[in-house]
């Protein structure tokens, strides 16, 4: 359904992004930015983008590893997991603002379709949360199991747009006590917890939970319908 394009960040860096769906009014409900896990803009992320495009959004999924390595497309083996963690660590170690200008460029590109929502998974969930607090031009944000967002400096950031978050209660990367602390620290954020593991939305992983994924997606679409279009 979609195809790759090149985007340019404010600092002049160019990077690829997968785009899908109708770009112009009145065809599109609005724009959505989809932020990858630690596995790149792989077949799963492209299918997620295609899914939101089928729901009527113009979707942009930027390659957020591109500043440290081009063309990353990993699977879900132990080796892939290790490679992905290494790349995530490298991106997180970049001088500020790191990869955030690339996400801003994706938001700006998605805005040709109207209001923009942002949704991300795993590391992309953390970046979605940061985007809701640091970037401009989006109208709503939905992080899925964003590792790191419930602890430290990230947990006390202040979002400037409505945020809905999805967590799993069996997620060993995001302990439930930190989720509870996050809920207390962020009373304006809608937090949903599912009987599920980390990565429950990804149908290519062993942690996939169909019931949780379906309910979270229904809630996400309703949230975007309310705030984006």
The secondary structure element, H or E, covering residue 120 is strand 116-121
Q: In this predicted model, what pLDDT tens digit does every residue of 165-195 receive, in sequence order?
A: 999 999 999 999 999 999 999 999 999 999 9
Provide the CA 207 distance to its chain's centre, in angstroms.
Answer: 18
Q: CA dist 28 to 24, 120, 182, Å?
A: 6, 20, 34
Specify the pLDDT at position 22: 85
| Selected catalytic residue, list 50, 198, 203, 227 | 198
Query: What is the spatial distance between Cα 172 and Cα 157, in angstroms, rounded to a whole number?
Result: 23
- The model's pLDDT over 139-156, given as tens digits with 9 standing for 90+, comes to 999 999 999 999 999 999
Query: What pLDDT, on the 0 to 100 scale, is given for residue 46?
Result: 98
Between CA 65 and CA 68 the distance in angstroms is 6
Output the pLDDT for position 25.
Answer: 67
Clarify whether 66 is annotated catalytic. no
Sign of the four-CA dihedral 99, 115, 190, 35: negative
Q: Please report where in the chains the tokens 């990353």 appear, as a residue.
A: 72
Catalytic residue among 171, 172, 192, 203: 171
Beta-carbon count within 10 A of 48 CB: 25
**Is the CB of residue 23 less than 8 Å from the CB of residue 3?**
no
The candidate with the shortest Cα–Cα distance to 59, out of 107, 95, 13, 105, is: 107
Below-50 pLDDT ranges, the chain:
none
pLDDT value of residue 79: 97
**96: Cβ contacts below 8 Å, ≥ 6 apart:** none
Residue carrying the six token digits 């492209």: 46
Q: How far apart are CA 174 and CA 166, in angstroms?
A: 11
Residue with tokens 């769906």: 21
- CA 229/CA 210 separation, integer angstroms: 26
Catalytic, 50? Answer no
Q: What is the pLDDT of residue 16?
A: 98
């Amino acid at each position: 359904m979609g195809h790759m394009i090149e985007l340019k960040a404010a600092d002049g860096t160019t990077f690829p992004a997968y785009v899908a769906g109708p770009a112009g009014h009145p065809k599109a409900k609005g724009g959505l930015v989809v932020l990858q896990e630690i596995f790149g803009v792989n077949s799963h992320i492209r299918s997620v983008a295609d899914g939101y495009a089928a729901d009527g959004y113009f979707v942009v999924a930027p390659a957020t590893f591109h500043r440290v390595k081009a063309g990353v497309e990993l699977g879900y083996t132990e080796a892939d997991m290790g490679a992905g963690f290494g790349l995530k660590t490298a991106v997180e170690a970049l001088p500020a603002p790191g990869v955030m200008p690339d996400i801003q460029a994706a938001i700006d590109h998605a805005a040709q379709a109207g209001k923009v929502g942002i949704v991300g998974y795993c590391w992309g969930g953390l970046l979605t949360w940061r985007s809701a607090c640091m970037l401009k031009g989006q109208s709503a944000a939905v992080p899925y199991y964003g590792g790191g967002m419930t602890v430290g400096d990230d947990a006390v950031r202040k979002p400037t747009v409505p945020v809905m978050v999805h967590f799993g209660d069996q997620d060993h990367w995001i302990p439930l006590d930190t989720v509870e602390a996050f809920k207390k620290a962020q009373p304006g954020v809608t937090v949903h917890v599912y009987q599920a593991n980390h990565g429950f939305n990804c149908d290519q992983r062993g942690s996939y939970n169909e019931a949780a994924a379906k309910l979270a997606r229904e809630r996400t679409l309703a949230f975007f319908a309310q705030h984006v279009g």
